[in-house]
Amino acid sequence: MDSGEQAESNGITFASGSEMSRAMASEVARAWQLLPRINAVAPGDFAAMREVLAELIGEELDPTVRVLPPFYPDGGRNLRFGRNVFVNHGCTAVVVGGIDIGDDVMIGPNVQLISGGHSLDPATRRSVCTCAPIRIGRGVWIGAGATILQGVTVGDDAVVAAGAVVTKDVAPRTLVGGVPARQMRAL
């Protein structure tokens, strides 16, 4: 890390102009170059989508991965798909902090996976970014319009209700919902 970056317990904070900031900007620019191709894929042409996503991510995706356009990633090097993943249309993925999607995951329409953000301090809000990985366990179902924020781990076989905003880790085999999301019951 250079002088503009510091590790925090929940992720990394970095300043505008730092080495990490420059790397992130480069990755975003690369993703933006691929976005027209990603979103020109015909719905249901999962092989073509896997091909262009492999270019974005830098590795081949399992043939069971199915992603419907439009899909809005802002990077790819920190994005991982497990096997038998389904991502419905309208998903936004802010990838700077890393997003790891486990096997057998279903992601509903218009879900937002946001692994980056900004400083809470108004004096540095425009110049300091924060990021922390999102980890989605095996067998998770994320309902339509849900938002998962940076640093959150969603445990295996959990369900995130439609419209939930998940700000804290979700235990395995639980249903969470609401804003902010809270445990509704065990599964």
Strands 182-186 and 174-177, bridge-based pairing: antiparallel
Residue with tokens 């043939």: 63
3 state DSSP class of 181 = coil
Closest C-alpha among 111, 100, 109, 112 to residue 154: 100
Strands 128-131 and 116-118, bridge-based pairing: antiparallel
Tell me the C-alpha to C-alpha distance, in Å, between residue 166 and each of 42, 43, 44: 31, 28, 29
3 state DSSP class of 118 = strand
**Cα(55)–Cα(18) distance, rounded to whole angstroms?**
26
Which residues participate in catalysis according to the annotation? 118
CB-based contact 167:149 (threshold 8 Å)? yes
